[in-house]
A and B are shown apart, each in its own frame.
Chain A
């Protein structure tokens, strides 16, 4: 009697656990496959490459996730105690070899596949004709500096930093006179942009979702990244590296414009300095 009720109890628990796992898998799959909350569409090819690697990773992890969780659900249901003896086996070397090899191939293979996008961003040389823009992060703003018509950045000195001169531009350097410092990152479409990131104080992080681009800005270093943007519009720049109490409000806007509009915008920014 006790044994049977124990078995029934065991069936109830097993069923609940199995059903919970199946529901869990179902709900998770739904939110992933229907992309209820998802990343925004990319605005360049690089973004599409990143997304392709995302998709490959989703597929592989998704299959492993579903198989493992449903396997667990099946095992807890099928092998609930029923008064008998367990099947005694200590392992299976063939299976171990098979799934170890499969996992190595899948996981390491996936990692190697992702090399292309990373290489594009960081291994390949930045095109020499890229438009250079300096990005300066400080608690809690972003500033962007354009080298102007001479194509040269003027000298900066931290000792010259103040409210009116947030990047510390040295007015005595002739290259500084045509530099334009803005609080918005304006870029033209169809042009490779080189960002030179730096920080005045602590570590910050530059992130634009639609570019699939993120790079920390470290004080004491100049870090180069590059991108180009194909779709005009305004995109959010968020700080992603904890930088103090104003970390959440350290934002700016990336304005992508057709080249003609960009020139007008830049001229306007210069005039308003």
Chain B
């Protein structure tokens, strides 16, 4: 008798455009919706950074369509929204909610996520969050200028603190609050799905590393976003309710006494924000790590080197990630003793990161590397993670951070890891899974061209920023020549801006590839990459219930590539031992 327990849903597929494509509860549709939202967001965010890069070298250039001069507040508003949109709407959606929603159920052999209705609600709440954020551009005063970090009192005093600090900042907080709710809903879904809905035979240690990554990331989200939500509510109350959580007394802003608030602590905001903010950056990168591991193994045709170590390392990064938030606050006035403790924890978190890097190299070692576009991006992930991760070692030490904090060295570091490596993880996922989602491959030539422009391009943008930082160039300056030692660095700013223009232009190749391949891409049904995991056992795209009523069983680990003694250089997870074809004697 079929001892399989009842699946999540046995109802018929939805009818009607609205239920099939808009308010769909199908994890596959929702995954695509998140991915598309992130695509819109990333091009928006890139456009904002394009304007920023123009302004930094050509400050007098008039931007067509821009109302009036390119004032400092406009620059800071662009910067704030660039950071917010990229961190939240791109890096926290696509890698987890985009790819994870589509592929977690498939890779574990499930029909759908545990809570399909909740899943649908989480996407639309994210969408509302995005709308609120964009609305901030168009309200009176414009978008906020306090950075994605929104430090108080700049972010809590209202428009007297600066333009955009009125309704714009309020819309920002509301957007973030919606985003927190959406993320928590998503986290509950991911964790429950992974714990309860795995196919028979799929033990935790047989999970693909992508699934482990989504699992760990969901746990981080579950524990971190509640804190951000609390902080956001406190900020909203300070702004609108007359409270003083984050606003001290005795302030004089632009000559005006601020008598409405007293006793609050700006440091309290920083602690609450960064307690969320640090796990957030691991939420952004861990799915990319899983994706890189997965692709490197698949295209090197050998197992991931040190699978267990990879699981432990990702888990360690997740756990330690909650204990290091103070490294954003070494110079904030926080206790220097706490600072030193946070520093040691932060240096420690470099250890599992290093382990993962060595294991990626070990995965390639002795391999039969197939240089598909997906593989190129996975290899790109590794080199970028090394470059970006190592600069973290400087910032992790308070004695060195004394000089580098709030200089360009910081954006150099986080852009390489978040802004490039994590994005490369998304490119890997897209090139890898496009055939599964659409039944066609993305054009490999265009994909490789995209890679060869993007990897050198992003290095050309962000490596020089280290040198700007070492020379003392301060970040978040609307004028890159404002201080005496800055004009000498303008050639570097010029180089970065040009590199940015070229690299941003190259991304349109990717966009074109996606659109073109939807119609004209090489048909690619079946197991195009000769991969082992469960998503490749079903049709491309998969049917409504993923496995056409035949829930797979799993008999082995996910990375049995290159196993000696068999005809094929890969052993799919779902084949019974008797179904494997031995090598001819």
Contact = CB atoms under 8 A, between A and B. Distances in A.
Interface of A: 9-10, 13-14, 16-17, 20-21, 24, 28, 31, 36-40, 49-50, 53-54, 57, 60-61, 64-65, 68-69, 71-72, 75-76, 79-92, 95-96, 99-100, 103-104, 107-108, 110-112, 114-118, 121-123, 138-139, 158-159, 161-163, 168, 200-203, 205, 207, 209, 212-216, 218-221, 223, 236, 238-249, 251
Contacts of B250: 158, 219-220
A39 B470 contact: yes
B443 interface: no
Contact of A100 (B251, B351, B376): B351
Contacts of A212: 402-403
A118 B340 contact: yes
Contact of B482 (A60, A214, A251): A251
B252 A158 contact: yes
Given A61-B390, A61-B394, A162-B255, A84 B368 contact: yes
A201 B365 contact: no
Interface string B303-326: 111111100000000000000000
Given A85-B564, A90-B303, A209-B472, A244 B354 contact: no
Most chain B CB within a 10 A radius of its CB, from A31, A84, A243: A243
Contacts of A159: 257
A201 B252 contact: yes
The 4 closest A-B pairs by CB, nearest first: A220-B248, A87-B366, A122-B336, A86-B562
B399 A246 contact: no
B479 A249 contact: yes
Interface in B317-364: 331-333, 336-337, 339-340, 343-344, 346-348, 350-351, 354-355, 357-359, 361-362, 364
A6 to B, nearest CB: 9
A57 B400 contact: yes
B509 interface: no
B371 A10 contact: yes
A89 B563 CA distance: 9
A200 B252 contact: yes
B383 A104 contact: no
Contacts of B476: 242, 247
A31 B405 CA distance: 21
Contacts of B9: none
A76 B379 contact: yes
A58 to B, nearest CB: 8
A218 B266 contact: yes
A128 B468 CA distance: 37
Given A88-B564, A218-B267, A220-B248, A117 B399 contact: yes
A219 B151 contact: no
Contact of A242 (B154, B309, B472, B562): B154
Interface in B546-567: 561-564
A239 B474 contact: yes
A81 B369 contact: yes
Most chain B CB within a 10 A radius of its CB, from A163, A218, A251: A218
B370 interface: yes
Interface stretch (B68-76, B108-116, B126-134, B277-285): B68-76
Given A39-B470, A107-B347, 11 more contacts: A37-B468, A37-B471, A40-B472, A88-B303, A89-B303, A90-B304, A118-B402, A159-B257, A200-B253, A244-B162, A251-B484
B400 A54 contact: yes
B370 A81 contact: yes
Contacts of B251: 158, 200-201, 219
Interface string B237-271: 00000000000111111110100000011110000
A93 B365 CA distance: 16
A110 B351 CA distance: 13
Contacts of B39: none
Contacts of B403: 39, 50, 54, 209, 212, 214
B382 A72 contact: yes
B326 to A, nearest CB: 13
B484 A81 contact: no
Most chain B CB within a 10 A radius of its CB, from A53, A91, A159: A91
B569 interface: yes
Interface of B: 71-73, 76, 145-147, 151-154, 157, 161-163, 248-255, 257, 264-267, 300-309, 331-333, 336-337, 339-340, 343-344, 346-348, 350-351, 354-355, 357-359, 361-362, 364-371, 376, 379, 382-383, 386-387, 390-391, 393-394, 396-400, 402-403, 405-407, 448, 452, 455-456, 459, 463, 467-468, 470-472, 474, 476-479, 482-485, 489, 492, 561-564, 569
Contact of B301 (A85, A161, A240, A243): A85
Contacts of B304: 90
A114 B394 CA distance: 11
A7 B472 CA distance: 48
Contacts of B161: 139, 201-202, 244
A86 B299 CA distance: 10
Most chain B CB within a 10 A radius of its CB, from A72, A82, A162, A238: A238
Given A86-B569, A88-B302, A158-B257, A219 B248 contact: yes
Contacts of A71: 361
B9 to A, nearest CB: 37
A250 B73 CA distance: 14
Contacts of A40: 472, 485
Nearest to B559: A90
Given A57-B400, A81-B370, A103-B354, A123 B406 contact: no
B370 A96 contact: no
B397 to A, nearest CB: 4
B400 A53 contact: yes
B253 A201 contact: yes
A121 B561 contact: no
Contact of A81 (B368, B390, B468): B368
A117 to B, nearest CB: 4
A218 B333 contact: yes
B568 to A, nearest CB: 10
B116 to A, nearest CB: 36
B333 A72 contact: no
B393 A110 contact: yes
Contact of A20 (B336, B369, B455): B455
A107 B351 CA distance: 7
Contact of B361 (A60, A68, A138): A68
Contacts of A114: 343, 397-400
B379 A221 contact: no
B436 to A, nearest CB: 22
15 contacts: A37-B467, A37-B489, A64-B354, A68-B386, A85-B301, A86-B302, A99-B355, A108-B351, A116-B399, A207-B474, A215-B331, A219-B251, A245-B76, A245-B145, A247-B72
A192 B151 CA distance: 32
A13 B365 contact: no
Given A65-B390, A121-B402, A219 B153 contact: yes
B146 A242 contact: yes
Contacts of A107: 347-348, 350-351, 354, 393
B576 to A, nearest CB: 21
Contact of B72 (A111, A122, A246): A246
A246 B248 CA distance: 22
Contacts of A202: 151, 153-154, 157, 161, 253
Most chain A CB within a 10 A radius of its CB, from B336, B367, B387: B367
Nearest to B76: A245
Nearest to A200: B252
B301 A111 contact: no
B482 A88 contact: no
Contact of B71 (A64, A100, A245): A245
